[in-house]
A and B are shown apart, each in its own frame.
Chain A
Amino acid sequence: MTATARRGRRALSWLRGATIGVVMLFFALPMVWMFAAAFKTNVQVTDPGVGLWFSPTLENFRSILHDGQVITSMGNSLLVGVVSTALSALLAVPAAWAVGRFRMHRTGSLILVARIVPAISLLVPWYYLFARLGLVGSYTVLVLSQMFVSVPLIMWIMISFFAGLPIELEEAARTDGLSAFGAFWRITLPLAAPGTATACLLAFVFSWNNFMFALVFADDRTQTVPVTLFNFISYASTDWGGLMAAATLITVPVVVAAILGQKYLVAGLTSGASKG
């Protein structure tokens, strides 16, 4: 390799780094502003002159932790998010495999209808049914309603992954004596691990952020985070600092959990392959 080529490559990689940096700045700056606001009083939040150099206050966090509702809600959100995502994956991943492998694209598109229907048209009928079943206010109803969002989501993402995987691998496994299901479980699923992890992560994110279902179906003990955040918006005033502190408090641990979860999920799914 010539020196010019090497220099060109180095310049290219530098350019790549710089571009990533600039784009990331666009995504990060608003969040920096949010984190900063979490340490400000309300007067400082609405004063653009304050910027990023100010004497931080922990008052916002103190009042949140004192109240305790945010922590309870995080627990609820976590429970609903994890359970609904796990159950959804259990239903959706095999289904997506069937659609992708057997090219049932019409069925695949049909599942998307569930995602298209706006939530407002679901609320009253669901409430009617769940109220008759005595489920309103329970975790069950929150998980079930969230699964209605997550199942189509995971399925939709996974269909393209399974469709993209070469069929030959499964066929080879079949000739090696594995059952059709065994081929799916031991060969295909591990190969689709990155997709499964991403799909589950996104399903969790949608659950974490779902406001409408939680507002209508939860009660004071099962309340989730998006509803709790509104505690900071009261009739005659908005507690900007408290709201931003709460938003920070709920974002950071989840980012960490999501990253670890994703890592282990990928590792877990991939290890199935080596064992097989």
Chain B
Amino acid sequence: MPSTRTTVERRHTGTAAATGRGPAQPARSVEATGRRLKWAMLAPALLFVALMIVFPLAFTINLSLTDAFGAVNAGHPYVGLRNFADLLSDSRRFWPAVQRTVVFTIGAVVLETVLGLALAMLLRHPFRGMRWIRTMLLIPLLTTPVAIGILWLLILDPTNGIANHLLSEAGLPRMEFLGSVGQSLPTLMLIDVWQWTPMMTLLLLAGLTTLPTEPEEAALVDGAGPWQRFRHVILPMLAPALSAALVLRAVDALKTFDILYATKGPGGGSDFEAETLNVYAYGLTFDYQEYGLAAALVALFTLVIVATVVLLRRGAGKKDA
């Protein structure tokens, strides 16, 4: 912390020329102060994050090039890129985990976005009981993942759960839910939707409230229907908030861990049916003590997500332009 503080002050008062692209401001003097201000505002956060991440990153990359096993605090010979080669040729655990990660993320995030957007639109205009609704939305978010995992295990237990009890009372066939190899991942996606749609809704609701109202009123005067107003007026204005929420949620969904581990145990269940990349990385680290391989997996995983995000952002940027 102290080091961050001093840096801020130095940045603030110092005369060192800041590099970076010029801001889109008209006057020259404004541009100069703007540039200085820009870095003064940005530096503390960037510096903090960089300070926290540089050692772990170096540590992980270094580890991924060794065959570290058992303990990392003993010397391990470097093996070059062998860990990466081993992973990429592993069709038993790695590639299925990649597939499940992608399926889980896309399935859950798409549902959450659509549902979250719909809910945000419904809740946009204040009405009686609004506070209650918002409260209810917060509860799944504030309940500790451990409790959520156990709660769903109880509800969905094939023998003793209330879900099957209600199904059979209604004359419907009983389900195995998390007990079945095939139904596990879809069930977990639904649990994720239950847990995280509220966050989507809250983010989009905040986005909607900051939108100017004039364009919509103008469209109303022009006789545009509700769908047209949504499609052609609100959605374009909401696009930045929507894409930010989508990326945020997608990144989090890619590394979902708590709920998978709490309900399916190590290795994502008996047939690895819920083993995503993060669950696999956890298993390699804490169950197998294959630190080199785990580090390679994490490095690969991080790299792929960063690339995806950059591509997504670039695509979005082009569309904006």
> A28-40: contact bitstring with B at CB < 8 Å (1 yes, 0 no)?
1011011001000
CB of B87 closer than 8 Å to a CB of A: no
| A interface, size bucket | 35 or more
| Chain A residues, Cβ within 8 Å of B254 | 116
| Chain B residues, Cβ within 8 Å of A191 | 210
Q: State the total of A-B contacts with C-beta under 8 angstroms.
A: 266
Contact for A102 among B24, B138, B240, B301, CB less than 8 A: B24
CB distance from B204 to the nearest CB of A (A): 10
A33 touches B56 (CB 8 A): no
CB of A82 closer than 8 Å to a CB of B: no
A122 touches B42 (CB 8 A): no
CB distance from B120 to the nearest CB of A (A): 11
CB of B123 closer than 8 Å to a CB of A: yes
Closest partner residue, chain B, to A191 (CB atom): B210
B162 touches A51 (CB 8 A): yes
| Chain A residues, Cβ within 8 Å of B142 | 205, 208-209, 251, 254-255, 258
Contact for B248 among A118, A157, A226, CB less than 8 A: A157
> A143-155: contact bitstring with B at CB < 8 Å (1 yes, 0 no)?
0100110011101
A46 touches B147 (CB 8 A): no
Closest partner residue, chain B, to A174 (CB atom): B30
CB of B114 closer than 8 Å to a CB of A: no
Q: In this complex, which of A180, A181, A250 has the most chain B Cβ atoms within 10 angstroms of its Cβ? A: A180
> Known contacts A121-B295, A254-B142; is A101 also within 8 Å of B147 by CB?
no
Q: In this complex, which of A48, A95, A159, A184 has the most chain B Cβ atoms within 10 angstroms of its Cβ? A: A48
Question: Taking beta carbons and an 8 Å cutoff, which residues of A are in contact with B?
Answer: 16-17, 19-20, 23-24, 26-28, 30-31, 33-34, 37, 45-49, 51, 91-92, 94-95, 97-99, 101-105, 107, 109, 111-118, 120-122, 124-126, 129, 144, 147-148, 151-153, 155-157, 159-161, 163-166, 171, 174, 179-181, 184, 191-192, 194-195, 197-198, 201-202, 205, 208-209, 211, 225-226, 229-230, 238, 240, 243-244, 246-247, 250-251, 254-255, 258-259
Closest 3 CB pairs of A and B: A48-B165, A95-B45, A247-B147
